[in-house]
Amino acid sequence: MADPIRTAEADPIPYADLTELGGTTGRAVSIFLPTARGGAEVRENPIRAKSLIKEAEAQLRAHGATGEETDEILGPLVTLLEDDPYWNSMADGLAMFAAKGIWRAYRLTTDLPEAVHVSDRFALRPIVPAAVGDRTFLVVAVSQNKVRLLEGTASTIRELDLGSIPASVDDMAGDTQPPPHQQQRFSAGAGAGHAGSTAGGGVVHSHGTGAEVGDVQLEKFLRQVAHGVEEVLEPNDRRLVVLAAVAEYMPRFREFLKYENLVDEVAAGNPDALSPGDLHDRAWKVVQPAFGRLAERDAERFGDAIGAGRAIAGGGSDILKAAQEARIERLLITRRRCGADHGPDDLDSAIGQVLATSGSVIVVDSLPQDVSEGAILRF
């Protein structure tokens, strides 16, 4: 396949943003549009956005907003139109939100239709899949010589900053050379490098050249990688995590990474020479069936909750009321309910309420009883 490296920009959507946007009341503008990543079509990005902002202005006036109020709400979006580098670095879609005292813009890898909604709340559902990591996965490519962290979708992959994850064995925090009596030979499998040399009768394991490292050192290395990945993951993160490494690393990595959505299968082999596109191919073979299992698990949990009388099947107003009472443990929204074509309703408000009370929001393909949304209750 063609190398799917994502060269365009995409913006993270923190849960704190969803909570704040979901709690916004008063005149609120939600604008969605498709955008071009490159080529001559890039010039159309701000032109299309400007047209939709003008449409939002007309809708605000129709809702009784004064000229001063309209300028206050839309002013930040109008200013954004002047940022040429921003408009030249788009992804596949753009979502913009504006109300008095708050505005946000998110570049998304989601195809969005053109839509403008002016209401008493924001239309959050179209950005929920991107915010909760729907059908998004992380690849942790690990060898002794190099560590990479990548984020992928079905057709794209991009490299992320490592943060606190060590870039190699040599980059580990603290002392990287254990006492001689703790140096035990650990074979990292084919392609990991040459064996340690001997000096004075003891085993000496070199670092940074593909050579083997001591068992204690390898354990420390994988622990630091796992802990660094945990720092990347958001609370209630839904992204699957795939390890790309020699298979021998997986048991220890699973021991150290306390994360429900770590995929059991490993994208096996030394990843050092693999391009992002090659890593995507290997990881997708592992992650695609895992997405199916995850969807089945979510639907089964919801079905069990219905049977136990701890669920709401459909009904945005009922879900919002339960969210305001802090009763929702998990809000489930079907993918068809996340479209941008329809204006905001009670479900959009419920999203912020659920997150504000430490609940989680997930996107699913379908739900039992063919409902479009549902909630698993705490009580």
Q: Residue 200 belongs to a domain with what CATH number? A: 3.30.420
Q: Which of 120-124, 138-142, 234-238 has the lowest mean pLDDT?
A: 234-238
In tens, the pLDDT along 45-95 reads 999 999 999 999 999 999 999 999 999 999 999 999 999 999 999 999 999
Q: Which of 8-12, 104-108, 135-139, 266-270 has the lowest mean pLDDT?
A: 8-12
Bigger pLDDT: 200 vs 130: 130
Single out the residue in 242, 263, 291 at which a domain terminates: 291
| Whether residue 279 sits in one domain with residue 169 | yes
CA distances from 261 to 108, 236, 364, 371 (A): 23, 11, 15, 25
Q: Residue 9 domain-assigned?
A: no
What's the DSSP call for residue 338? G
pLDDT at 133: 73
pLDDT at 154: 80
- Band of residue 274 on the pLDDT scale cut at 50, 70, 90: very high
Strand ranges (DSSP E) for 153-262? 157-160, 197-199, 202-204, 240-245
Cα(5)–Cα(276) distance, rounded to whole angstroms?
Answer: 6
Q: Which residue range is the domain that position 309 belongs to?
A: 295-377
Quick count: other Cβ atoms within 10 Å of Cβ 272?
16
| Whether residue 161 sits in one domain with residue 109 | no
| Whether residue 191 sits in one domain with residue 152 | yes
Strand ranges (DSSP E) for the chain? 28-34, 93-99, 102-108, 115-119, 137-142, 147-152, 157-160, 197-199, 202-204, 240-245, 267-268, 311-313, 328-334, 360-364, 373-377
pLDDT for residue 6 is more than 50: no
> Any idea what the CATH number is for the domain that residue 351 is in?
3.30.1330.30
Which two three-digit tokens encode residue 322?
């339960």
| Whether residue 148 sits in one domain with residue 274 | yes
| Whether residue 109 sits in one domain with residue 34 | yes
Cα(247)–Cα(270) distance, rounded to whole angstroms?
Answer: 9
- Angle CA(275)–CA(280)–CA(283) in degrees, nearest 5? 125
In tens, the pLDDT along 342-378 reads 899 999 999 999 999 999 998 988 899 899 999 999 9
Single out the residue in 291, 307, 324 at which a domain terminates: 291
| Whether residue 277 sits in one domain with residue 336 | no
| Whether residue 276 sits in one domain with residue 156 | yes
Q: Residue 13 domain-assigned?
A: no
pLDDT at 213: 65
Which two three-digit tokens encode residue 372?
């479009």
Cα(321)–Cα(324) distance, rounded to whole angstroms?
Answer: 5
pLDDT at 9: 67
| Whether residue 368 sits in one domain with residue 354 | yes
- Angle CA(153)–CA(289)–CA(259) in degrees, nearest 5? 75
Q: Residue 7 domain-assigned?
A: no
pLDDT at 207: 38
| Whether residue 83 sits in one domain with residue 162 | no
Q: Which residues pair with 334 in a beta bridge?
A: 364
In tens, the pLDDT along 197-256 reads 333 333 333 333 444 568 899 999 999 999 999 999 987 788 999 999 999 999 999 999
Cα(317)–Cα(347) distance, rounded to whole angstroms?
Answer: 7
Single out the residue in 260, 291, 322 at which a domain terminates: 291
Q: Which of 189-193, 313-317, 319-323 has the lowest mean pLDDT?
A: 189-193
Strands 28-34, 93-99: pairing is antiparallel
- Band of residue 329 on the pLDDT scale cut at 50, 70, 90: very high
